[in-house]
């Protein structure tokens, strides 16, 4: 199997929560991850803020990725939030997104790619979007989808937008955190079923 490395660390799990202080830091850390996929004949699927889609492609090009070629041949797919996380009403439907991730990871294999690397900009969570409150349940449940399909996903969060409590909950839903440019084993990770029980108890309380 091809290498799967992020920030100099070989990944043993498939769900990474990446916290960044700036877009410059984000691309300095993630661009080699994207470039490794291209060099190994894998597919990148990136879900980005529609305001940043052009800049995202520009930064990929600066990292040595032939963006027009990769997009035309299907090795790179850049989607905007409305094409993935948000439904036709502009809201977030957790179950629909889980099914989408399941489909996308399978579709990557069906298209002949050994691996599909997903990156999702999670900035939409901090806007006034219906259903955004379900994000923690989604982050917990998607672990099982990614593990079953053996495909990696990196969820990108802006540290400046996170409260301490939210950051801790996000840490608990991801086996691997990336903080300060370093990937570490996560002592706070809580198995999905346990985390879901706690989240549902909070709602009832």
Q: For residue 88, give the H/E element and its range.
A: none
Cα 70 from Cα 48, distance rounded (Å): 17
Residue 79, number of CB atoms within 10 A of its CB: 18
pLDDT digits (tens, 9 = 90+) for 98-148: 999 999 888 878 888 989 999 999 999 999 999 999 999 999 999 999 999
Name the nearest CA neighbour of 138 among 77, 199, 50, 48: 199
Residue 117 has what DSSP assignment?
Answer: E
Q: Given a cut of 80, is residue 34 above it in pLDDT? A: yes
Task: Indicate the pLDDT class of residue 25, thresholds 50, 70 and 90.
Answer: very high
pLDDT digits (tens, 9 = 90+) for 151-183: 999 999 999 999 999 999 999 999 999 999 999
Residue 111 is predicted with a pLDDT of 86
**DSSP 3-state of 127:** coil
Whole-angstrom CA distances from 56 to 13, 67, 77, 79, 114 are: 26, 10, 12, 11, 24
In the numeric block, which tokens belong to residue 84? 């993935």
Residue 21 has what DSSP assignment?
Answer: S
In the numeric block, which tokens belong to residue 164? 């301490």
Residue 67 is predicted with a pLDDT of 98
Residue 108 is predicted with a pLDDT of 79
pLDDT digits (tens, 9 = 90+) for 45-79: 999 999 999 999 999 999 999 999 999 999 999 99
Q: Given a cut of 80, is residue 1 above it in pLDDT? A: no
> Domains of the chain by range and CATH?
11-204 (3.40.50.300)
């Amino acid at each position: 199997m091809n290498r799967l490395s992020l920030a100099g660390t070989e990944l043993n799990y498939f769900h990474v929560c990446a916290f960044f202080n700036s877009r410059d830091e984000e691309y300095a850390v993630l661009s080699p991850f994207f470039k490794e996929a291209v060099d190994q004949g894998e597919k990148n699927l990136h879900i980005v803020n529609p305001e940043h889609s052009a800049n995202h492609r520009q930064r990929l090009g600066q990292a040595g990725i032939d963006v027009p070629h990769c997009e035309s041949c299907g090795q790179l797919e850049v989607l905007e939030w409305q094409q993935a996380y948000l439904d036709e009403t502009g809201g977030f439907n957790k179950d629909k997104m889980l099914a989408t991730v399941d489909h996308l990871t399978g579709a990557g294999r069906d298209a002949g790619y050994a691996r599909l690397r997903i990156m999702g900009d999670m900035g939409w969570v901090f806007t006034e979007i219906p259903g955004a409150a379900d994000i923690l349940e989604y982050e917990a449940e998607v672990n099982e989808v990614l593990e079953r399909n053996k495909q990696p996903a990196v969820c990108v969060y802006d540290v400046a937008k996170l409260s301490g409590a939210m950051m801790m909950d996000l840490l608990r839903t991801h086996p691997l955190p990336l903080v300060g440019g370093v990937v570490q084993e996560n002592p706070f990770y809580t198995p999905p079923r346990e985390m879901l029980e706690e989240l549902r108890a909070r709602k009832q309380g």
